[in-house]
Amino acid sequence: MEEKLKKRIPEPDTAKAFAVFAVILQHAGIDEGNAFFFMSAFQVPLFFVLSAAFAGDKLKSREKLKARILRLLVPYTCFSVIDTLMSLFVAFIKTKAFDTGELFRCLALLFSGFGISVTWFLPALIITELIFALWLKLSRLLRIISGILVFAAFFIINNFGSLLIIWYSNSAAEDNTLSFFLCCLVSAVARLPLCLIVYGCAYFLVPRIRKIKLKAVLTPFLTIVFLAAAYLVSIINGGGSMGMVYYGLVPALYLISIFLACVAVMLLARCLCMIRINAPFAFIGANSLIILLTHMDLYLLSPAKLIAAYICKTEEGLFFFLLTLIITLIEEVPLVLIVNRYFPQLAGRGSLEKSREK
């Protein structure tokens, strides 16, 4: 008898849609100020939180862990190749010649684990899951000691984050491939403590939080409270980015803002599910990996920002950003349908992959 696939839970997919929106809005131009600080608290952290929340005992099984890693490696490799070809094409259009330096820089980004464009979170998640799986096998004492060291590294590294960014920028401007590779490698390692902390806390906390019975009437109120608290903490801290190592004035506040913002977005998703208008959001969230890994590649050639700027007569303002977001998503829908139908591996899905359990 054919095994019946279990229905996907709509809330996580709905929540991921808002993380997708935040990533696209950032690349549309919101890359500084209060809006950026707030979005940084959930745009990528939410994917780590949800990955950890549904990992369960899979991290304790060698075969299941291997399958999880392979499902992420395939899209990372494929979209890194697409990114490289796109970068080489743009460089050729500008210089009318093949840019060997650009090729080596892309290879350095790929093999260092730093990631090309928006692919960076895939190697970060892969390495985080591998390290965390090994951590689970340690004795209780070693887990406590190593956990303290990870937290210490997080606070120490934040103090040198600006130096890492300067080093990265200077190396990127040079033709020294080895120096650039080492810089990317150091930067990729430097963000691991934050990834491990977010992943580890979510692994233990989210399954327990999910068991809390919350009355429907309280959900909208708590959503507003958590959104407001996350926004307030984010702007007070004045920073936050998992891709580059700078977590604001007080690193602990960034961790708090991540917790508040991720809870707020998941509560918002529950609100949309309760009033049954979550379907479009769930579609985007269920295909978040495809959208995130294609929209930046398309952005180099995409008319979305140009159309939005033409209509708005400016590249600033809320309406411009929202219009850019909408046009970008419209462009993505055909690609999502094609990948779903013909290339599921590009979305990190195998033909036999089961949906999440209830």
Residue 41 has pLDDT above 60, yes or no: yes
Q: Is residue 131 part of a domain?
A: yes
Higher pLDDT, 169 or 190: 190
What is the structure's pLDDT at 47?
A: 94
User: Structure pTM?
Assistant: 0.89
Residue 350 has pLDDT above 70, yes or no: no
Residue 355 has pLDDT above 50, yes or no: no
* 261 vs 269: CA distance, rounded Å: 12
Taking residues 101-120, report their average pLDDT: 87
Ranges 86-95, 127-136, 152-161, 284-293, most confident: 127-136
What is the structure's pLDDT at 243?
A: 75
Q: What is the pLDDT of residues 203-251, one digit of tens each?
A: 999 888 877 888 888 999 999 999 999 999 999 998 888 877 778 888 8
What is the structure's pLDDT at 171?
A: 61
Give the mean pLDDT of the chain: 85
Q: Is residue 20 part of a domain?
A: yes
Q: Which residue has the tokens 């959930």?
A: 42
Q: How many domains does the chain have?
A: 1
Ranges 168-182, 188-202, 240-254, 284-298, most confident: 188-202
Lowest mean pLDDT among 134-138, 140-144, 170-174, 331-335: 170-174
3-state secondary structure the chain: CCCCCCCCCHHHHHHHHHHHHHHHHHHHCCCCHHHHHHHCCCCCHHHHHHHHHCCHHHHHCHHHHHHHHHHHHHHHHHHHHHHHHHHHHHHHHHHCCCCHHHHHHHHHHHHHCCCCHHHHHHHHHHHHHHHHHHHHCCCHHHHHHHHHHHHHHHHHHHHCHHHHHHHHHHHHCCCCHHHHHHHHHHHHHHCHHHHHHHHHHHHHHHHHHHCCCCCHHHHHHHHHHHHHHHHHHHHHHCCCCCCCCCCCCCHHHHHHHHHHHHHHHHHHHHHHHHCCCCHHHHHHHHCHHHHHHHHHHHHCCCCHHHHHHHHHCCCCCHHHHHHHHHHHHHHHHHHHHHHHHHCHHHHCCCCCCCCCCC
Q: Is residue 357 part of a domain?
A: no
What is the structure's pLDDT at 93?
A: 85
Dihedral sign from CA coordinates of 294, 39, 209, 255: positive
Type of residue found at 252: A
Q: Is residue 28 part of a domain?
A: yes
**What is the pLDDT confidence band of residue 354, given thresholds at 50, 70 and 90?**
very low
Q: Is residue 358 part of a domain?
A: no
What is the structure's pLDDT at 180?
A: 82
What is the structure's pLDDT at 211?
A: 79
What is the structure's pLDDT at 28?
A: 82
Domain that holds residue 211: 10-347
Residue 169 has pLDDT above 80, yes or no: no
Q: Is residue 355 part of a domain?
A: no
Asked if 104 contacts 177 with a C-beta cutoff of 8 angstroms, the reply is yes
- Give the whole-number percent of the chain exceeding pLDDT 90: 40
Q: Is residue 69 part of a domain?
A: yes
Residue 262 has pLDDT above 70, yes or no: yes
Q: Is residue 92 part of a domain?
A: yes
